[in-house]
């Protein structure tokens, strides 16, 4: 019988998806047959009459899983479906999840189950983290995204209270480098005394919070005016300088960036193209002149045509930045390296009964 490992996080954007994918890669390398399931999703993209969980789709493609998306993410709760739950007799979503889990486990040694984004999700359909692990008889590793020292300790203790003996440990992710020593030498031993093993302490890496050019296009409702550049990763965002005389020095301060600039400012756009720039985000729905398009193509820089003014575009990008999921293989590779350096996999395998 396949072992089921449920991996929730205590808050949104903690790196849960990245850890699931990196762990699946490692398990495969260690010779195990690995399946995937996302029992409950509240982050769906609606296409026509169907709802798609993008994390499940990425994992299906990356690992070439034969199961359908409906099996890998059996309960994808949209606003419309929530209204249906509130106004009609309750459907038994638990049976759907149980059947999907049985299908995902066929021929596998372990099923990595991507859990909820926080411990408040899923109660409306009886698929909260505690209810799900009981339903599927799963072991638990909880991901804690570091915000500060106190929050990290409290989140770990809260997860233990919610999950009980099913939780085999926590992973503390995205710790600033100036707090790594404290978390490793103070927080980790304290939590172990409270019967909460810390399986890994992972440092903050800026590139893991980077967003792709395609992500930016989606965030601002824009149009991509380049060829095959949607997967390029943007680590920083700058708003254009007002004074062209100072623009070049200003843009040289930051690398791997997207520059938000008025579509009617080719002088500023040209200055940005002379520095380490991944994308030009042109505001005001003004298309670039042919010289800018040619220069961008020559340097492999994406041009994104945005429909809004500069202020609105900045707001949209800032809300999105650092909050994307792991859907680029460059991120997967880096995260797998971090996990391999920090985690005692033999300890994890023993704890979940995988031998």
Closest to 275 in 3D by CA, of 232, 238, 325, 225: 238
pLDDT reported for residue 94: 94
Q: For residues 228 and 234, give the distance between their C-alpha atoms in angstroms, rounded to a whole number.
A: 15
The reported pLDDT for the residue numbered 46 is 46
Domain ranges of the chain: 3-208+325-352, 211-320
- How high is the pLDDT of residue 321? 67
pTM for the model: 0.80
Kindly state the tokens that stand for 141. Answer: 């590793």
Q: Which of 232, 190, 228 lies closest to 211, judged by CA? A: 232
Position 48 scores a pLDDT of 43
Buried b (16+ CB within 10 A) or exposed e, 201-227: bbbbbeebbbbbbbbbbbbbebebbbe
- Closest by CA position to 138, among listed 339, 354, 344: 354
Pick the CATH number of 3-208+325-352 from 1.20.140.10, 2.60.120.260, 3.40.50.300, 3.20.20.140: 3.40.50.300
33-67: pLDDT as tens digits: 999 999 999 865 544 445 678 889 889 999 999 99
Distance, in Å, from the CA atom of 338 to the CA atom of 355, rounded to the nearest integer, reads 23
Specify the pLDDT at position 191. 98
HSE-CB of 192 using CA atoms within 13 angstroms: 10
At 167 the pLDDT is: 97
The full 3-state SS of 217-284, as one line of letters, equals HHHHCCEECCCCCCCCEECEEEECCCCHHHHHHHHCCCCCEEEEEECCCHHHHHHHHCCCEEEEEEEC
pLDDT of amino acid 13: 80
Q: Partners of 47 in the beta sheet?
A: 50
What's the topology of domain 211-320?
3.40.1390
Q: What is the pLDDT of residue 328?
A: 66
Burial of 296 (0-12, 13-18, 19+ CB in 10 A): buried
pLDDT at 183: 97
pLDDT number for residue 81: 80
Give pLDDT, residue 201.
96
Show the tokens assigned to 245: 């005389």
- Note the pLDDT tens digit of each residue in 258-316: 999 999 999 999 999 999 999 999 999 999 999 999 999 999 999 999 999 999 999 88
Tens-of-pLDDT digits for all 355 residues of the chain?
A: 899 999 999 998 888 988 999 999 999 999 999 999 999 998 655 444 456 788 898 899 999 999 999 999 999 888 878 888 888 876 679 999 999 999 999 999 999 999 999 999 999 999 999 999 999 999 999 999 999 999 999 999 999 999 999 999 999 999 999 999 999 999 999 999 999 999 999 998 877 777 889 889 988 999 998 766 777 888 889 998 677 778 888 899 999 999 999 999 999 999 999 999 999 999 999 999 999 999 999 999 999 999 999 999 998 888 776 555 566 677 778 888 889 899 989 999 999 999 7
CA distance 291 to 154: 56
């Amino acid at each position: 019988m396949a072992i089921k490992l449920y991996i929730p996080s205590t808050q949104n954007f903690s790196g849960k998806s990245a850890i699931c994918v990196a762990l699946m890669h490692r398990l495969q390398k260690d010779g195990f047959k690995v399946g995937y399931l996302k029992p409950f999703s509240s982050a769906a993209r609606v296409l026509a009459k169907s709802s798609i969980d993008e994390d499940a789709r990425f994992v299906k493609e990356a690992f070439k899983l034969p199961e359908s998306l409906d099996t890998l993410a059996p309960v994808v709760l949209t606003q419309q479906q929530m209204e249906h739950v509130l106004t009609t007799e309750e459907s038994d979503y638990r049976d759907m999840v149980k059947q999907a889990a049985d299908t995902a486990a066929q021929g596998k040694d372990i099923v990595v189950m991507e859990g909820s984004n926080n411990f408040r999700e899923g109660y409306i359909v009886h698929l909260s983290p505690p209810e799900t692990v009981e339903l599927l008889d799963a072991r638990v590793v909880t991901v804690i995204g570091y915000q500060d020292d106190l929050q990290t300790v409290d989140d770990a203790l809260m997860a233990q209270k919610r999950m009980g003996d099913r939780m085999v440990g926590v992973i503390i992710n995205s710790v600033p480098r100036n707090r790594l020593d404290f978390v490793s030498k103070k927080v980790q031993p304290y939590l172990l005394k409270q019967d909460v093993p810390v399986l890994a302490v992972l440092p903050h890496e800026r590139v893991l919070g980077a967003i792709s050019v395609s992500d930016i296009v989606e965030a601002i409702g824009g149009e991509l005016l380049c060829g095959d550049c949607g997967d390029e990763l943007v680590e920083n965002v700058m708003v254009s300088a007002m004074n062209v005389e100072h623009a070049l020095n200003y843009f040289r301060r930051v690398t791997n960036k997207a520059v938000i600039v008025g579509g009617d400012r080719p002088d500023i756009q040209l200055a940005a193209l002379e520095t380490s720039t991944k994308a030009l985000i042109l505001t005001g729905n003004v298309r670039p002149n042919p010289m800018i398009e040619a220069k961008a193509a020559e340097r492999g820089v994406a041009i994104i045509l945005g429909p809004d003014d500069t202020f609105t575009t900045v707001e949209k990008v800032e809300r999105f930045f650092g909050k994307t999921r792991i859907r680029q293989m460059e991120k997967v590779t880096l995260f797998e390296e971090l996990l391999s350096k920090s985690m005692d996999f033999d300890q994890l395998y023993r704890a979940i009964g995988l031998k």
